Structure 1
């Protein structure tokens, strides 16, 4: 039997982080390749989009239960079980494909299963951070987490495109499975600090039903954290709309090659933003970071819709994704500092459930709004052709462009409103830090 290594603080985190980067990259390879496979075999955008929907819904539904259990159980073992379940799902996908029995509905079910395990893994990983690393290192650690996400987003699509031609879908899925094994081996080989204390022992004796709603109660009793959660959920809705519509917007005036270049530039921006927050050592206001870069993101979305310009779209993508890891890491840092470590599983699960609703909602409404409402309004003879059309243009794609402009304006307005809400603006001063070392 493998005996866990005795390592502390940043050493523990770095080992876990390396395993998670491998797992994220492997999953990114599979997700990209599966999307290509589904679209090539069905020719249906709807069936392609359903993969994204099924990947997000379980997190919303399961998160409350997952959070309660994460705080009852050892977080290391929750991550081990979650990674094992996701690995088994990937292995099943590999076997179905290898025996020529893979069907579209298999992919949907396996996506749901994998996402369900992820609903446990995500709050366990986030809640473990406050137990593992010193308070002074939290901002750097959160930057490193965003850096891992950025690397996987940047590497996976490019690498998957190359590997699809070389080893096809089955080979990519095998690589994904190996990445899960690597991550699992690291988790088994090291030991986490124990999150069990007197408060946690009381939790174990209380009603699981009550504990499922504890994250909700904890946030709602603290106006600053509630404001931050609502702010994040609304701005995530805008991000979801952008994610869904960026491809048809760019393809309405540029080539697929230009689209790929714009997405790559956005990935570079995300990578650079992650590096900045990881390497920046000076003490800074996390909530001010959120406001400043969310405002910049709103401006970027707005300007991306104003003109049919590849250069403008590339600049907007770079600035938007440069700020995104800084926003995410700063938001996570505030919750880590202000939420007691022994209840962070439930709180982070509740946060993930609320913000997670934004993305499937955006996936469901963005397409119909574009096709049935905004594109007709901005057609050559549309109702808005003589007014807004004189500013942003008319014809194919300009209805989507108008959605971008409105989403950018909404993001800017929400940021200004959030800044003028005192409990949110002063959340770092008014709520005491629960991590003192």
Structure 2
């Protein structure tokens, strides 16, 4: 039988989660330093976009496999293995920098490996949440998660920027390894409930194949009303806003003549907005018309994206304000969406469903990353950002107006139970 989340498992999850925040801080500091190093060393949008392309591509390739594995093996052991491998690759990167062997190709390989490990880490961590957190706390814990994630993302650029003033990159990279060991302590001390399928042996056995379990995830995805529509919309939006992930550092350094401090300054507004949005999400217990709220928040977020795109040269405050608007709405969108998935999908299928959903949503993001470099050279980075946001608004309005998504009811407990029941009845 599947273990039920209770007060004890909830306390264990909080302990585990606190350690993960330290690990996230180390990873974000390293990612900031690498992003700045590429932009400052090469000042080439093609290379900046290439780094993002490889990271997203490896994530998309590996995440469906990772999701199935997360539902079949000991999740605690899986997290320990992939996090240890990630820390080891950071150690290797330190050696390359220390001995003067670092170049863009080494960075590409490092980011690709890091992406593989994250592809296993993310669905596994997401899948354990409903096994350790009671259902009545899911929405709020998702909001709190975004709150503290925002705090970490606020601190990381400042820490990275300040450390760059005094230290070489290879010394700063040790932060990632130190925070890995901090996160390892609670992970070793807690028990993460195992999810075993014992009531469905008629279609899943100990020798069940990966293909069958992947197919089960696809069938589960299709049974959730509106999810395919939301996934396609996410795919388009991720494609359109991918340039900001690839080119933001270059946008600040090259377009606006800034430095690492300016990147940290504008990031403060974005993550400050995320923190405010996460606080709002955490304290608001009940959400009515969830789909409508998600769509409105998407449009407002895209408007914020367009605002910082058209900021006059050197207007870092305007860039920051646009980022704050974008950041405020992301926790609302993602928290409502994740809560719905965690409520509707049985725990033993959540790993693969989450990974498949994420993979499909990001399926054409590598194309966006690949195109963002040449398009930035052709149009300029500000115009590329602006037109991406504008097209995103049109896509969102089109999906709301011309599909049945606005009729989907995510507020009905009986509807969620009906969906859950249908998913439980799936056979291969």
Q: How does the TM-score come out when normalised to structure 2?
A: 0.84
1:70 maps to 2:70 = yes
Pairwise CA distance, 1:413: 1.7
Q: Which residue of 2 aligns with 1:108?
A: 108
Q: Summarize the Cα distance change of 1:415–1:18 in structure 2 as closer, same or farther, 3 Å threshold.
A: farther
Q: Summarize the Cα distance change of 1:203–1:169 in structure 2 as closer, same or farther, 3 Å threshold.
A: farther
Pairwise CA distance, 1:165: 2.3
Q: Which residue of 1 aligns with 2:207?
A: 205
Aligned residues of 1:305 and 1:401 also touching (Cα < 8 A): yes
The 3-state SS of whatever aligns with 2:120 is helix
Aligned residues of 1:26 and 1:177 also touching (Cα < 8 A): yes
**Structure 2 stretches of 5 or more lacking a match?**
1-5, 422-428
Aligned residues of 2:244 and 2:385 also touching (Cα < 8 A): no
The 3-state SS of whatever aligns with 1:357 is coil
CA distance in 1, matches of 2:156, 2:364: 24
Q: Which residue of 2 aligns with 1:276?
A: 280
Q: Which residue of 1 aligns with 2:127?
A: 127
Pairwise CA distance, 1:50: 2.5
CA distance in 1, matches of 2:253, 2:169: 26
The 5-angstrom pairing of residues 281-296 of structure 1 reads 281-282=285-286, 284-296=288-300
Q: Which residue of 1 aligns with 2:236?
A: 234
CA distance in 2, matches of 1:41, 1:241: 19
- C-alpha RMSD over aligned residues: 3.0
CA distance in 1, matches of 2:232, 2:289: 19
Q: Which residue of 2 aligns with 1:409?
A: 393
Aligned residues of 1:55 and 1:112 also touching (Cα < 8 A): yes
Q: Which residue of 2 aligns with 1:342?
A: 348
The 3-state SS of whatever aligns with 2:196 is coil
**Structure 1 stretches of 5 or more lacking a match?**
1-5, 376-395
Q: Which residue of 2 aligns with 1:322?
A: 328
Q: Summarize the Cα distance change of 1:367–1:93 in structure 2 as closer, same or farther, 3 Å threshold.
A: closer
Q: Summarize the Cα distance change of 1:253–1:181 in structure 2 as closer, same or farther, 3 Å threshold.
A: closer
Pairwise CA distance, 1:119: 0.8
The 3-state SS of whatever aligns with 1:72 is coil
Pairwise CA distance, 1:283: 5.0
The 5-angstrom pairing of residues 32-431 of structure 1 reads 32-199=32-199, 202-244=204-246, 254-256=256-258, 261-282=265-286, 284-304=288-308, 308=312, 310=315, 312-372=318-378, 375=379, 399-400=383-384, 402-404=386-388, 406-414=390-398, 416-417=400-401, 421-422=404-405, 425-429=408-412, 430-431=415-416
Q: Summarize the Cα distance change of 1:305–1:57 in structure 2 as closer, same or farther, 3 Å threshold.
A: closer
Pairwise CA distance, 1:266: 1.8
CA distance in 2, matches of 1:65, 1:159: 35
Q: Deviations over 1:67-114 (max 9, x none)?
A: 111111122222111211111111222233334433432222222122
The 3-state SS of whatever aligns with 1:204 is coil
Aligned residues of 1:224 and 1:427 also touching (Cα < 8 A): no
CA distance in 1, matches of 2:75, 2:49: 32
